[in-house]
Amino acid sequence: MLESSRPATQIRNGSGIGFGFGECGSGNSVGYRGNGYNPNFDNADEYPPSRGHVQAPPRRSIDLNALVNKRPRKHYYTHEKQHIYSLILQLNGPGKRLKRGVSSSVAQVAECPRRVVQRIWKEGVKGLGIHAVKCNCFKKCGRKKIKLNIEALEAIPPSERTTLAQVALNMNMSKSTIQRRLKEKEIRRISSELKPALTPQNIKERVVYCLRKRGEWELKPCKSVDKNKSREYLVKYVLPAIKARWPESDRWNTIYIQQDNAKTHIQPNDEVFLREAARGGWDIRMVQQPPNSPDTNINDLGWFASIQSMFQKKMPKTLPEIVQKVEESLAEYEHEKLNRIWLSHQNCMREIIKHKGSIHYDLPHMKKEMLERQGLLPVRLTVDKQIVDDAIEFVNMP
């Protein structure tokens, strides 16, 4: 049922009594035209009512970006509120009533809304002085910390929590929350941090490795089980692939193939390897990485861990599936990530030179992704000449 606040007028006719709206005895009344009048009811007093369309005023557009980027309400500390109160006293004087324009001037100087200035002034007047103006937020305030259920995290199978994105999905939490808990050391990554014991000779070999002059590197995945298989793989697959894909402009420079110190690998002076490597006038040499130094190997430094994370998400069950999923992971791997790992390898070598072969160093954060987006990602890192001279002097010490 609809009701109206307009006065009702009793109308008598031959058939009985009815009720209508309007001025009594006024046949030409135009009806209500006060606040809240809707022009669509301009002809509502007519019967039958007019069907003519009345254009309504346009709706005000709403900027959704402005709503999203709107700053949340700021909480002012005691010293900030007292500073605003002292500014009011300087412009207004000791009176209890704010003068015209004082709140706007103080708000502009303090970079805060006028309502904040007026509220602080009322607090000071009510408390009879600047000491009554203080922050009312005691102890912890604001948004409460989201707790991480450790038992629920442990219940997730290890194969389904290899990355932060997987943990966030299974925990029904945002990835940023998981990242903050990791930074707060509430949880930690389970990884193999190889920090082997180094002999004095190992330390010098690490520095010599980083100081060695080299060109472009081509690394091989090792699938052999003995030296014969390793030699066969190098001669049949690695050397022909290098010669087929190497840039012609860099054809006559020395190429180094690096391998670790596994017992199943061939020696750098292997006769069969040297003969096949030199075939066609190529200068391809084999080098060993320093002992107990996984940080000098790009595979151990980041590539194996990244491929393993992609491989575990595919969850292969049989040996053919394992081979297939490994090849798929290699094909899907982004070359931009390989560029970043190469820069991390150069960064490790620079720190090894700087710390004279020690493994106790912190790898500086280069912000490679940000530099890559800006088109400023370097190809090679530089080392100060003084650091290099000190490292050479350290290597030549008896």
The pair of three-digit structure tokens given for residue 67, joined into one six-digit string? 């709503």
pLDDT reading at 147 higher than 50 = yes
pLDDT of residue 79: 85
pLDDT reading at 68 higher than 60 = no
Higher-confidence position of 327 and 279? 279
- pLDDT tens track for 203-231: 888 888 887 766 554 444 545 568 888 88
pLDDT reading at 15 higher than 50 = no
pLDDT band at 10 (very low <50, low <70, confident <90, very high): very low
Handedness of CA 120, 124, 129, 134 (dihedral sign): negative
pLDDT reading at 357 higher than 70 = yes
pLDDT of residue 343: 87
pLDDT band at 55 (very low <50, low <70, confident <90, very high): low
Look at 78-82, 139-143, 156-160 and tell me which has the smallest mean pLDDT: 139-143
Q: CA nearest 124: which of 156, 87, 69?
A: 87
pLDDT band at 56 (very low <50, low <70, confident <90, very high): low
pLDDT reading at 199 higher than 70 = yes
Higher-confidence position of 113 and 190? 113
Parallel, antiparallel or unpaired: strands 255-259 and 16-21: unpaired
Put simply, whether the predicted model's pTM sits higher than 0.85 gets the answer no
pLDDT of residue 2: 38
- The overall average pLDDT reported for the chain is 76
**Cβ atoms within 10 Å, residue 121:** 22
The pair of three-digit structure tokens given for residue 286, joined into one six-digit string? 């084999």
The pair of three-digit structure tokens given for residue 110, joined into one six-digit string? 């303090």
